[in-house]
Chains A and B, each alone.
Chain A
Amino acid sequence: MQVTLKRIELKDSPQFSDELHGSEINHADLNIAFGDVDAISALATVIKDKSNWIASSSCQGAMSNLGNDMGASFVHVMSVANTQGAIGIASCDIGEGDVTEQAESTIVSAMQRANRLGQMPNLVWIVQAPGQEEKVLKGVQAILGNSVPIFGGSSADDAIEGKWLQFDGKQLYSNGLVIAALYTEKPISCYFSSGYTFTQKKAEVTAVDGRVLYTLDNKPAGEVYNQWLQMYGEAPLKPGSILSDSTYFPLGRDMGSKSEPIPLLSHPSKLNEDDSLELFATVQKGEILTLMHGERHNLISRAAEVTEVVLRTHELNYESQAKGLLLVFCGGCMLAVKDQLDQIHRSILSKAQGLPFLVAFTFGEQGCFPDGKSRHGNLMISATVFG
């Protein structure tokens, strides 16, 4: 397996096109691409009728071993070649209809295109518009079961304006789902993690509609949340976007055990006038939500630590040198530590030790915990190692 990375700037259109048609990209089994909305949009104008692309917009650009965008438009392309296996990519628009059924038929199409219908992939890599991730996962798991590793991220734009994009090499979506089923001879290792600590503040979901949380313990969710924040010395939030203010105090559900708690995080994005809270993940009535707390310096160091863990485990497990690393980093977290992106970039470079890597900043992360089941969460980080 070979993994190469290109970082192509948008401003020079002829060169942008030439580089995207370079032999490494053309002959790759799979091209995974991230960039800001403009970059992905431009990518879709250059790449026509290809079946080896899975691309998504990333919040305020992406990051790779070749650089950190810092406001400029680049497309970062990770090209995976010589997999000695098969990779199938399929896509659909999830704007209308039953999303779960659409996800089912899309993963079946991806398997068909890999000529591995019915077979368990090494990895299902997924990009999608934010909003219906749980239904998408449910659809994939209905076809492949709960033990299939599903990793990926929800597309993002720069300011949560719904401008996010997905691209499959043929079609550009704004509310799409692109799935890649990877069947490779070489191993793939994945790690899905969150930081944050459970506080003592918890409540039961008593009224919820999709991602709008109305009441906790039969009290207005916004009121409960603000009370909790004040107990930790934070000012109460006012109606409107609370994405950046809630980054260090998300809501968590425990997916682990009493001895080994594993938090699955939901990021409150908006406080409504009716004291309801909008989240970036769906919670169910009856679930217990706990106020979580994280520290800024841990957000900054997390990407490098995750890189170290996944690379070490991969090499121990398979006695095989990693060939490439793909990180999905919560866009909300990135915005909270944006001034430290250079330091984050340097720390990942240090841990990756020359390995090509690509970091996407997303509005929702998908991955699987040690119990093997894949889930959707916010403020998470995932790492995928090829080779």
Chain B
Amino acid sequence: MTDVEKLHETIQQLSYENAQLSRFKKINRLILEGLDAILCSENHDEVFARLFDVVSNILPCDQILIAQHDGNQSTVVPVCRRHNKGQPSALRYSDLSHYFEHTVNLSNVKLVPDWSAQIGRWLPEAQSVLIHPINTAQAEYIWLISEQKIGAFSKQYEEVFVSFSAFVANTLSQFEKRRLITEKEALLEERERIERSMVHQEKMAALGQLAAGVAHELNNPLGFINSNLSSLHDYVSRIDKFARTASSTNEQLNAQFHASDMDYILTDTVDLVDESLDGMRRATDIIQNLKAFSHPDEKTIKPLDFLAVVRQALTIVRTQAKNIVEIKFDTILETAMISANANQLAQVIINIVTNAIQAVNHGTGQINIDVVEAMAHIECRIKDNGPGIDEQVKASIFDPFFTTKAVGLGTGLGLSISRAIIEQCGGELQLESTGPSGSTFLIRLPLLE
């Protein structure tokens, strides 16, 4: 009997200790499931809805409500509720701050003065209410959980709930801080990008003005040099003809002709003038390009079928691409009406495709042109299977006068003029991707309604 009594007492003691320590089991479950709920949620409303499920599974209660303190309005208003009972109207915070700043375990709300006129409006059926503040990094919330019977929430229940609430507040604060840091970093990055872009735009604008000025100033001297050279070319032919005829009819003149090596001089003079005229034409081309870069012709912009322009441009470049590269043009669209200058737009296509032809290996090169419609725009992708563009080069390919070609073989204005033309039409031109398997340029232009 003695041992049985002692054993019985020991069992009672263990039951007591087990009941007391069961709080930790509940807290552990709440924290595990609560963390899961927070991690799975996109926003505070979703977090709260999931937390309501977690709480009501482990800590039985009739209703759960979360209210938020609006410091500017000095009000507190329900922001999330598990049940749609009661009025979610705003209450004046200062009248109720003694309920919202600490844990308050109301075991009998009927004894609380003005309950039904205040918090009772939110929870009209409640007899017991447990109130606890949750202050996160960005907001002040208040949990309210209720039951329809008196004294529903024991001290142990309260302690478990308070522990869990502290965990929720800390975890939400951490997430809010992390999100703030991420947003701040993104904003800083965006600001830097905009600043870089503004510097670039200013540089381009200055360059455009400079180019326009240079083109204008050089245009006249180049005009009369060209005119004079053309005249000189004509004069030299006539001088050559006269000198040869005269020397052939007079021995003394013939002797002087040969002594002065006039045969070489006259031949070389013609060549010199021809070369000068050739250089003149190149200089004129550059001036025209500079003018196009600084002032794409706006007046000739009109509605046109982008697909027709692409096809027309490809007929030109295909002669250049013959036996070197295969060019495929693919689209499911029948037409793609946009507003642009047909010649300039064709020039853009030709520029990009020509660059692609030069980039790919002869014989195995392939260029795919694909046009699709996306969000009221046409998107034209010109993709090659070349070696890609170096990182350093990539940053400058749209800069005027930037070229990777040998001196004299390229002006470095092709892509910059192309971008200016596309932007003039309200679109954008960008290098969408580049890598060892090739590069893709994207032309994006608004479709006409």
Q: Which residues of A are in contact with B by a Cβ distance under 8 Å?
A: 108, 111, 117-120, 122, 141-149, 187, 189, 191, 193-197, 256, 260-262, 293-295, 297-298, 302, 305, 309, 312-313, 316-317, 370, 372
**Beyond A118-B106, A148-B154, A317-B21: 10 further Cβ-contacts under 8 Å?**
A118-B110, A145-B107, A145-B108, A148-B107, A194-B12, A195-B8, A302-B9, A309-B13, A313-B20, A316-B21
Is B11 close to A, CB under 8 A? yes
Is B375 close to A, CB under 8 A? no
Once bound together, how far apart are the Cα atoms of A260 and B19, in whole Å? 12
Residues of B within 8 A of A316 (CB): 20-21
Which of B144-152, B231-239, B341-349, B364-372 sits within the interface? Answer: B144-152
**Do the beta carbons of B2 and A118 come within 8 Å of each other?**
no
Nearest CB to that of B22 among chain A residues? A370
Once bound together, how far apart are the Cα atoms of A386 and B4, in whole Å? 32
A118-B112 contact given A293-B5, A294-B5, A295-B1, CB 8 Å threshold:
yes
A149-B12 contact given A118-B109, A317-B20, CB 8 Å threshold:
no
Least CB distance from A142 to B in Å reads 8
**B2, B8, B113, B154 interface centre (most CB from chain A within 10 Å):** B8
Residues of B within 8 A of A302 (CB): 9
**Do the beta carbons of B108 and A309 come within 8 Å of each other?**
no
Least CB distance from B155 to A in Å reads 6
Is B111 close to A, CB under 8 A? yes
Is B17 close to A, CB under 8 A? yes
**Do the beta carbons of A118 and B107 come within 8 Å of each other?**
yes
Residues of B within 8 A of A111 (CB): 111
**Residue tally, chain B, CB below 8 Å to A:** 40
Once bound together, how far apart are the Cα atoms of A119 and B158, in whole Å? 12
Is B6 close to A, CB under 8 A? yes
Residues of B within 8 A of A108 (CB): 111
Residues of A within 8 A of B2 (CB): 295, 297-298
Residues of A within 8 A of B8 (CB): 195-197, 261
Is B242 close to A, CB under 8 A? no
**Do the beta carbons of B5 and A197 come within 8 Å of each other?**
yes
Nearest CB to that of A197 among chain B residues? B5
Residues of A within 8 A of B110 (CB): 118
A298-B9 contact given A122-B155, A147-B154, A372-B154, CB 8 Å threshold:
yes
Is B315 close to A, CB under 8 A? no
Least CB distance from A299 to B in Å reads 10
**Do the beta carbons of A144 and B107 come within 8 Å of each other?**
yes
Least CB distance from A200 to B in Å reads 12
Is B329 close to A, CB under 8 A? no
Residues of A within 8 A of B21 (CB): 313, 316-317
**Do the beta carbons of B9 and A317 come within 8 Å of each other?**
no
Nearest CB to that of A314 among chain B residues? B20
Once bound together, how far apart are the Cα atoms of A196 and B21, in whole Å? 25
**Do the beta carbons of B155 and A145 come within 8 Å of each other?**
no
A195-B151 contact given A316-B21, A317-B20, A317-B21, CB 8 Å threshold:
no
**Do the beta carbons of B5 and A119 come within 8 Å of each other?**
no
A143-B9 contact given A260-B15, A317-B20, CB 8 Å threshold:
no
**Do the beta carbons of B5 and A295 come within 8 Å of each other?**
yes
Residues of A within 8 A of B149 (CB): 145
25 contacts between A and B (CB under 8 A): A118-B109, A118-B111, A119-B104, A120-B105, A120-B106, A120-B158, A141-B151, A144-B150, A144-B151, A147-B153, A147-B155, A147-B157, A148-B154, A193-B12, A195-B5, A195-B9, A256-B15, A260-B15, A261-B8, A295-B5, A297-B2, A298-B9, A309-B16, A313-B20, A317-B20
Q: Which residues of B are in contact with A by a Cβ distance under 8 Å?
A: 1-2, 4-6, 8-9, 11-13, 15-21, 23, 104-113, 115, 128, 149-155, 157-159
Once bound together, how far apart are the Cα atoms of A297 and B9, in whole Å? 13
Nearest CB to that of B152 among chain A residues? A145
Least CB distance from A192 to B in Å reads 8
Least CB distance from B5 to A in Å reads 5
Once bound together, how far apart are the Cα atoms of A195 and B151, in whole Å? 30
Once bound together, how far apart are the Cα atoms of A95 and B17, in whole Å? 39
**Do the beta carbons of A146 and B16 come within 8 Å of each other?**
no
Closest 9 pairs between A and B when the two form their complex, measured CB to CB: A145-B151, A118-B111, A147-B154, A120-B107, A370-B19, A120-B105, A118-B112, A145-B150, A197-B5
Least CB distance from B150 to A in Å reads 4
**Do the beta carbons of A305 and B9 come within 8 Å of each other?**
yes
**Do the beta carbons of A119 and B16 come within 8 Å of each other?**
no
Least CB distance from A260 to B in Å reads 5
Residues of A within 8 A of B113 (CB): 117
**Do the beta carbons of B155 and A317 come within 8 Å of each other?**
no
Partner of A146, one of B104, B115, B151: B151
Residues of A within 8 A of B150 (CB): 142-145
Partner of A193, one of B16, B152, B154: B16
Once bound together, how far apart are the Cα atoms of A118 and B115, in whole Å? 10
